[in-house]
Structure 1
Amino acid sequence: MSSDAPLYERDPEAWNAYLAEGNARQARKRVGADVLIRDERGWVLLVDPAYKPNWDLPGGMAESNEPPAAAARREVKEELGLDLEIGPALVVDWVPPHGPWDDSLMFIFDGGVLEAGQIADLQIVDSELQNFRFTAPAEMAGMLRPYVLRRVQAALATLRGGITTYCENGYSVTSPRSHQG
């Protein structure tokens, strides 16, 4: 093999060592994966976590090396006993550092519209949750933290517009609004 060949071809072992060193030094991001589930009226399923203020979407944090969509599916099943096919990503939101938390990436996936029988079967199966309910989008402002509300509103807009939205702190990067807040 010629000495002009790239390192990954000349010396695969050295290439793997190079990648391992980069992996050890590069920043790691927490990843959260939530699911936007609606009823036939278009109301959104919210959950009331026992461990934090305000309501939220069903979902949670991805485990090490777990794809976000798989995390979303696992979390919904663990929380509500609902084994749901996860649809496309509606929102990817970069959340800046806040309090003791580093920055993170939050996904919202489409969970579709549940039929009456599926809704009747919903139950809390995880002590992390205190309650759940379907909520009209207009009523979510008093229930969700502001940046979570912006993220959910972006997801609802994506459902109407058909393209995944990238946000920073809940604000669409294509929005004329400031990314502060």
Structure 2
Amino acid sequence: MDLLPYAEYAASLNRKRASAGVLFHAPDGRVLLAETTYKKSWEIPGGAVDAGEPPWRTALREVHEEIGLSLPLGTLLVIDYVPTEEPMPEGLAFVFDGGTISDDEVAELELTDPEIRSVGLFTLDEARPLIDPVLAGRISAALHAIATGTLVYCESGHPISTTATADPS
């Protein structure tokens, strides 16, 4: 077997997009969602990881840009593999715990990012018609992670077992 020179091998490696979001939650289980101006579905605060930027810095940057908060980041709750869905290539989505937030704190948020029209706290059932089904699964997994203190791995918003074998056949 002939091996490629290292630089050629490195250039041939698959590239994946990445995103990072933060789940803020009220004590009663409602979650903070942001109504975006650039698409129909609502989102959790977060966005695309820039080149040379780790996901945790993306999460902190996006939360500050979108909803004006500069808070310490909580634990990683979810890693979600998202397959290619045109026009978007495959990627990884990271969800971090933003901690609890109250109705009063949400009302005081200063929205200065033109990408964000409004924000609100919603139960998962209230959120489902507003968000993409993959995000609904990811939020459900994140709420489970908060309740159990465990990291949840997902594929397209569906929790998976990490005890699966490498060869699914």
CA RMSD in angstroms, aligned pairs only: 1.8
Q: Partner residue of 1:111?
A: 98
Once the two structures are TM-superposed, the CA of residue 163 in structure 1 deviates from its matched residue by 0.9
Inter-partner Cα distance in structure 2 for 1:107 and 1:129: 20
In the alignment, structure 1 residue 22 sits paired with structure 2 residue 1: no
Provide TM-score, normalisation by structure 2: 0.87
Q: SS state of the match for residue 69, structure 1?
A: helix
Higher Rg: 1
Please list the CA deviations of residues 84-119 of structure 1 after superposition, one character each: whole Å capped at 9, or x if unmatched. Answer: 211111000000100121101001100001256643
Gaps of 5+ in 2: 163-169
Percent identical: 38
Of 121, 125, 130 in structure 2, the residue corresponding to residue 138 of structure 1 is 125
Gaps of 5+ in 1: 1-16, 176-181
Inter-partner Cα distance in structure 2 for 1:154 and 1:109: 12
Inter-partner Cα distance in structure 2 for 1:60 and 1:99: 18
Aligned pairs, how many?
158
Inter-partner Cα distance in structure 1 for 2:33 and 2:101: 13
Q: SS state of the match for residue 158, structure 1?
A: helix
Q: Partner residue of 2:70?
A: 83
Q: Which amino acid aligns with 2:92?
A: L
Q: Partner residue of 1:10?
A: none
Q: Which amino acid aligns with 1:173?
A: I
Inter-partner Cα distance in structure 2 for 1:107 and 1:92: 5
Task: Summarize the alignment of residues 4-43 of structure 1 with structure 2, pairs less than 5 Å apart.
Answer: 18=6, 20-43=7-30
Q: 1:46 to 1:116 in 2, by over 3 A?
A: closer
Q: Partner residue of 2:112?
A: 125
Q: Partner residue of 1:48?
A: 35
Q: Partner residue of 2:160?
A: 173
Kept after mapping to 1: 8 A contact 2:106/2:120: no
Kept after mapping to 1: 8 A contact 2:124/2:136: no
Q: Partner residue of 1:5?
A: none
